[in-house]
Amino acid sequence: MSLYGMMRTSVSGMTVQADRLSTVADNIANAGTTGYKRTSIEFSTQVLDNATASYESGSVQSVSRAAISQQGALRGTNSATDLAISGEGFFIVQDESQEFYLTRAGSFNTDENGNLLNAAGYALMGYDIANQTSAPVANGFAGLEQINVSTLALTAVASTQAEMVPNLPAGATVVAPGDLPSANTATAEFSGKTSLLAYDSLGNEKTIDVYFAKTAPETWEVTVYDKDASTNGGFPYSSGPLAQETLDFDPANGYLLGSSPSTLTVPFAPPAQLELDLTGISQLGTGYSVPTANVDGNSPAAVERMEIDGNGIVYGIYQNGYAEPLYQIPLASVPSADNLRALPGNAYAATIESGDVLVGLPEQPGFGSLVSGAVEESNVDMATELTIMIESQRSYTANSKVFQTGSDLMDVLISLKR
């Protein structure tokens, strides 16, 4: 056995233990880092050809392994833009040089330009729902752009769709033709009235009054007026009805006949018009009620905050309470996540060993779901790291003793010449 070979072997032993202690230092330092994945060291032997009569010691080398695929615990936060992935997948982010990377660090906040950036400065990428399809390009990042809400301030959206599902009292009195709401007289009679708030193309509030009056058994008239034209909130109106329709009901079940219209076109905001959907309206033996009524559109308002659902849809919540879907957040995956190349800021890049990136949507097969108001904690276990640190310290000391012994034997060998 060569004394030099023994000393070289012990040096390689100290080197790999130093590498192992370096990973322990990194892991402990990043125990509180969002999305951090612990790194470990695996050892492999390098054996020399020992076919000769004397034994020649080899050496040991270290190979780092990152537990990127291991899920960290989710911790709730007070920010709706903090995101965590429950299951497989990575956020797609972009740095200042427009390069794409993957990350699990989802502590995103809006910067001064309206972009969503995480703590490392990477911008979250998504598909613009308003201007393009949200279907992902499976094998690339085409169509992705930085999620930004700064341009949505003071946006007005005209009302185009409304839904109203009232119940009309089956026992209501039939109204004479001269007293119907469509006659627009001060003596107008009706069995139900509901006002709906809508918005024109400039975002101005427009209130419409919807009247229901029975004209014959199983037959009703629905009439729509502009509230601004009313007299003290009622009849007569200074202008005629905006829309009028006759509804026919099935006496057997109290719902609209198939031949009866169920939609009114209300031209209150040229060039736009409001489609009032009455599908589901009923005529039953109870009083007038409107359990469902809603209108789209909104007045000019700034985006107050953002909310993100489990499917990755980013909503802008305006000051008036209107919620508008803005972006679709995709997720990315690779065949072997543990072989991704780690970069600063808990970002990763694909390698030959990791395989190509596949892009999909949250909750699709092979992808996890998004959790808003939470972040993924580091998957470092402090007890494990401290145990490894003690083991490595002991092993390093033992290897140093072997080296010292070899050095002492070299001194003995050299002294024989004296």
User: Tens-of-pLDDT digits for all 418 residues of the chain?
Assistant: 577 778 888 888 899 899 999 999 999 999 988 889 999 888 877 666 665 666 667 778 888 888 998 999 999 998 888 999 999 999 999 999 999 999 999 999 888 888 899 988 999 999 988 766 556 778 888 889 999 877 666 677 788 999 999 999 999 999 999 999 999 999 999 999 999 999 888 888 889 999 999 999 999 999 999 999 999 889 999 999 999 999 999 999 999 999 999 999 998 766 678 999 999 999 999 999 999 999 988 788 777 778 888 888 998 887 777 778 889 999 999 999 999 999 998 899 999 999 999 999 998 888 999 999 999 999 999 999 999 999 999 999 998 998 888 888 888 888 886 6
Are residues 171 and 285 in contact, defined by beta-carbon separation less than 8 angstroms?
Answer: yes
pTM: 0.66
**Residues paired with 272 in a beta bridge:** 269
Are residues 159 and 198 in contact, defined by beta-carbon separation less than 8 angstroms?
Answer: yes
**Domain extent listing, the chain:** 3-67+379-415, 77-148+306-315+326-375, 156-300
Rounded Cα distance, 292 and 6, in Å: 85
Residue 323 half-sphere exposure, CB side, CA atoms within 13 Å?
7
Rounded Cα distance, 371 and 378, in Å: 16
Rounded Cα distance, 131 and 151, in Å: 13
CA distances in angstroms from 350 to 117, 185, 337, listed in the order given: 21, 75, 9
Question: What DSSP assignment string belongs to 276-345?
Answer: EE-TT-EEESS--EEEEEEE--EEEE-EEEEEE-TT-EEEEEETTS-EEEEEE--EEE-S-GGGSEEETT
CATH architecture assigned to 156-300: Sandwich (2.60)
pLDDT tens-digit series, residues 127-170: 988 766 556 778 888 889 999 877 666 677 788 999 999 999 99
CA 382 to chain centre: 31
